[in-house]
């Protein structure tokens, strides 16, 4: 499986926008911004993050980890 390395400068601004829009941390928002940049989904088992973003425009980019089992 190839390893893709993305420069952090590509996700800094989107991550900050996500954090400001949702009240989540920039740390959490970086993962979501990267998933969106890669036109992918963020798989998470973080219940608070999943619940907080579940009713937002970002929900389309989230997958609950247990749903993959």
CATH for 24: 3.40.50.1010
DSSP 2-20: PPP---THHHHHHHHHHHH
> Model pTM greater than 0.85?
yes
Domain span including residue 31: 8-68
Looking at residue 3, its pLDDT comes to: 87
Count of domains for the chain = 1
Percent of the chain with pLDDT strictly greater than 90: 90
Cα distances (angstroms) measured from residue 22 to each of 2, 9, 42, 45, 67: 32, 21, 16, 18, 23
Looking at the domain assignment, is residue 39 inside a domain?
yes
């Amino acid at each position: 499986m190839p390893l893709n390395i993305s420069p952090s400068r590509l996700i800094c601004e989107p991550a900050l926008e996500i954090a400001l829009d949702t009240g989540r941390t920039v740390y959490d928002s970086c993962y979501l911004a990267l998933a969106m940049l890669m036109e992918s989904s963020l798989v998470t088992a973080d219940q608070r993050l999943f619940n907080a973003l579940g009713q937002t425009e970002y929900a389309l980019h989230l997958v609950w980890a247990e749903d993959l089992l």
